[in-house]
Amino acid sequence: MKDINAEEYAELINSDSPVVIDFHATWCGPCKVLSPILEELSDEVDGVEFVKLDVDQHPEIAGANGVMGVPTVVMLKGGEVKERFVGVQPKEIIKDKVSALI
């Protein structure tokens, strides 16, 4: 999964393709648990782009997305938020949510 910057974020949110954004921080323990799950899903699910965004490096983007805690996962399609969750969830539940984007 690619760690994106503000310019890449701006392009992704206007994309028609489904996007899963993992808002994370390097110091966050639960983020380190969630990251490998999302990495696996990025290999398993076709047609969805999975990216990460460091909230400490991009606080303005995190704030604009209402990120109050990490990890927060925001799922977009056509520039619209279709799903979001905070914290770690089981892989199967996340996969169901991601599959609903396609």
Dump pLDDT digits (tens) for 37-92: 999 999 999 999 999 999 999 999 999 999 999 999 999 999 899 999 999 999 99
pLDDT score of 14 more than 90: no
Tell me, which fold does domain 2-93 have in CATH? Glutaredoxin (3.40.30)
The arithmetic mean of pLDDT across residues 1-18, rounded, is 93
| Residues taking part in catalysis | 28, 31
Q: How many helices (H) and strands (E) does the chain have?
A: 4, 5
Q: Which residues lie below 8 Å from residue 2, measured CB to CB, with a gap of 6+?
A: 8, 51, 52
pLDDT score of 15 more than 90: no
